[in-house]
Amino acid sequence: MLTVGIMSMQRIKNYGSSLQAFALSHTLRQIQPNAEVRFIDYEPGDPLIGPGTGPRGSKIGLAGKLSKALAHAGGPGKPRNKIAFLNHKRSYDRRYFSQLDITPERDLGTEVDLQIIGSDEVFNCVQPNPDVGYARQLFGHGSSASTLASYAASFGNTTMDKIVAAGIKAELASDLRRFAALSVRDQNSRAIVQELIGTDPELHLDPTLIHEFSPQHLVHAKRPKPYVVVYGYSGRFSESESRTVQRYAKNAGLEIVFIGGIQPGEGTFVDCSPLEVLSYFAGAQAVVTDTFHGTIFSVISKTPFVSLIRRSRTHGYGNEEKLTFLLEQLGLRGRGLYDVDQLTEVLPATLDFDLVSSRIDEQRLKSRQYLGRLMNPVR
């Protein structure tokens, strides 16, 4: 029996990380029903940059983790939403991990026939998140797997310049050369791999776009009023951006539903399971997001949307590298906004989701063929 270990962002408590992991594991089981597929974990490393981090090798410690927890309760947002969001974060793993086939205890064993690293931002190594840090295991370092491969891996907003500045170029190159097959999900990641090891990795869709979710996942959620979904990490929308969304919702007669995080202004935070989130997108009149997976969930549910694009500046958050490529790949570049004031004219514009679906079908076949070669190697 083929044993397969997926090393991904499955323990990160957000819907995108959860559903991409769920989608990849179920796709692999469909391709090879007799395989034993499980998630395996990495040990977070020390962040190379960011608040609370010193030189490489220093510990972020309790202070950094406490600061992150307090950030969930601080910042803008109504008190009732802050409480609901904190409860959502505190209980996310206990309530939802079992639905996703994620074990309560970490599994660090890499003694498998095939280890697949991905998808999600598994290669995003120059960033300040202490739950990930710079973990060389995410580049296959020290793996005991017979075959090492990646699928739709992303460097996120890590760039080649950041890698060079962090002094890890040689390490990454050494680790990536061990892969039998390399797959990434965006052009930035592809260019980095090309420069590091001279190999051109394959480009593939995120697993949430190649997995065919069942109709029950897309049944419209029921709310008292028609609504617009605002999907983003807490506090990521500025006061100005939130006011623009508030005006749009008021003029359209829509309630604002916050999913994934809370933002300034009026609205209701909804706590749902990862397997219910698509139903909220499907039931919405529109979606405003600034995330990669928020964009994908809108496409899957065929809901009109706009994606706010944020440029990467120094070590701050940015989504430009991954989001612009995704939108171009799906023929939806016009739904990406650098200026939120364009929202009111772009959101009502008609979207040809049939054309988008045909693009996805082409890429889905290519992605499944790649995974099929990994799962059913020619002996």
| pLDDT of res. 318 | 78
CB burial class (10 A; 0-12, 13-18, 19+) of residue 67? middle
Q: What is the per-residue pLDDT for 313? A: 67
190 & 118 share domain: yes
| 300 found inside a domain | yes
307, 305, 308: which is closest to 347 by C-alpha?
Answer: 305
Pair (247, 117) in one structural domain = no
Mean pLDDT of all residues in 53-78: 50
Instruction: Examine the pLDDT at 304 and tell me if it is beyond 90.
Output: yes
Q: How many domains does the chain fold into?
A: 2
- Alpha carbon distance 85, 282 (integer Å): 22
Using 50, 70 and 90 to split pLDDT, how confident is the model at 229? very high
Q: Are residues 280 and 314 in the same domain?
A: yes
217 pLDDT more than 80: yes
Does 9 have pLDDT greater than 60? yes
Same domain for 241 and 187: no
- What pLDDT score was predicted for residue 70? 47
Mean pLDDT value across residues 4-18: 98
Q: Is 92 part of any domain?
A: no
CB atoms within 10 A of CB 99: 13
Phi-psi group of 267: left, alpha or beta (phi > 0 → left; psi -120 to 50 → alpha; rest → beta): left
Q: Are residues 259 and 330 in the same domain?
A: yes
Residues 275 and 371 in one domain: no
Does 65 fall in a domain?
A: no
State the average pLDDT over residues 29-50. Answer: 96
Same domain, 240 and 124: no
CATH number of the domain at 235, please.
Answer: 3.40.50.2000
Residue 115 structure tokens = 């280890």
* Ranges 14-28, 46-60, 204-218, 270-284: which has the least confidence: 46-60
Q: Is 288 found in the same domain as 335?
A: yes
CATH label of the domain that carries residue 206: 3.40.50
Q: CA–CA distance from 327 to each of 279, 291, 308 (Å)?
A: 22, 12, 11
Spatial separation of the C-alpha atoms in residues 236 and 85, rounded to whole Å: 14
Task: Express each pLDDT in 237-284 by its tens digit.
Answer: 999 999 999 999 999 999 999 999 999 999 999 999 999 999 999 999
What is the spatial distance between Cα 241 and Cα 95, in angstroms, rounded to a whole number?
A: 32
Question: Residue 134 domain-assigned?
Answer: yes
Whether residue 91 is preceded by a cis peptide bond, meaning omega within 30 degrees of 0, is no
210 closest CA partner among 157, 156, 151: 151
Phi, psi angles (nearest 5°) of residue 196: -70, -45
Q: Could you give the CA distance from residue 195 to residue 129 in angstroms, rounded to a whole number?
A: 25
pLDDT band for position 73 (50/70/90)?
low
- What pLDDT digit, counting tens, does each position of 143-192 carry? 999 999 999 999 998 999 999 999 999 999 999 999 999 999 999 999 99
Q: Which residues contact 198 (CB under 8 A, 6 or more apart)?
A: none
In contact, 136 and 45? CB cutoff 8 Å: yes
- Tell me: do 354 and 364 sit in the same domain: no
Indicate whether 332 belongs to any domain: yes
Residues 173 and 140 in one domain: yes
**83 within a domain of the structure (yes/no):** no
The SS3 of residue 306 is strand
Q: What is the pLDDT of residue 61?
A: 42
Give percent of the chain with pLDDT exceeding 90.
87
What would the DSSP string read from start to end of 136-163?
Answer: GGGGTTT---SEEEESSB--TT--HHHH
Q: Which two tokens stand for residue 233?
A: 């990490």
Residue 291 located in a structural domain: yes
Does the pLDDT at position 359 exceed 80? yes
In whole angstroms, give the CA distance from residue 260 to residue 277: 9
Helix (H, G, I), strand (E, B) or coil at 291: coil
> Which structure tokens are listed for 325?
């490529």
Q: Tell the burial category of 147 from Cβ atoms under 10 Å away from its Cβ (0-12, 13-18, 19+).
A: middle
| pLDDT at residue 76 greater than cutoff 80 | no
- How confident is residue 54, by pLDDT bands cut at 50, 70 and 90? very low
Over the stretch 108-135, which tens digit does the pLDDT of each residue have?
999 999 999 999 999 999 999 998 999 9
Q: What is the mean pLDDT of the chain?
A: 92
Residues 171, 24 share a domain: yes
Half-sphere exposure of 201 (CA within 13 A, CB side): 30
Q: State the pTM of this model.
A: 0.92
* Structural domain that includes position 12: 3-59+99-210+360-375
In a domain, 75, yes or no: no
Query: What ranges make up the beta strands (E) of the chain?
Result: 3-7, 36-40, 114-117, 147-150, 183-184, 202-203, 227-231, 255-259, 268-269, 286-289, 305-308, 336-337
Same domain, 338 and 279: yes
